[in-house]
Amino acid sequence: QVHVVESGGFLVQPGGSLTLSCTASESVFSYYVIGWYRQAPGKQRELVALVTSGGTETYADFAKGRFTISRDNAKNTAYLQMNSLKPEDTAVYYCNTRFKMFSWGQGTQVTVSS
């Protein structure tokens, strides 16, 4: 089973930026469509963005124009750059494949607050 470790979450003020990282334990990472997901308190986990092995990106409506997903297959790592953060972006952020085939990591907490 492939394991992932997310990092980069922090407390940031509204309008601020963060870049999250997700590193997988195995090189098979490069074969999969990778997604960033988030779960806010009391809410279901939701998809934020996807990136194919070739770099094609798709975004949830709330992420369009503010977030950028990318990957470095040589490093088994995916990134989520988040700009213009809003309080409603507060959540634990996770990464996994499009069909959630990896073991879920611990996630990384993003808190947007003044």
Q: Which of 36, 27, 112, 109 is nearest to 73 (CA)?
A: 27
- In this prediction, residues 18-37 reach a mean pLDDT of 94
Average pLDDT of the residues of the chain: 96
Q: Kindly report the number of other CB atoms within 10 A of residue 41's CB atom.
A: 7
Contact 18, 9 (CB under 8 A): yes
pLDDT bracket for residue 8 (50, 70, 90): very high
Question: Which pLDDT does position 26 carry in this prediction?
Answer: 87
Helix, strand, coil in percent for the chain, rounding step 5: 10, 45, 40
63-90 pLDDT, tens digit per residue, is 999 999 999 999 999 999 999 999 999 9
Q: Which of 95, 97, 63, 86 is nearest to 12 (CA)?
A: 86
pLDDT at 35 over 90: yes
Question: Which pLDDT does position 113 carry in this prediction?
Answer: 97
pLDDT at 30 over 90: no
pLDDT bracket for residue 29 (50, 70, 90): confident
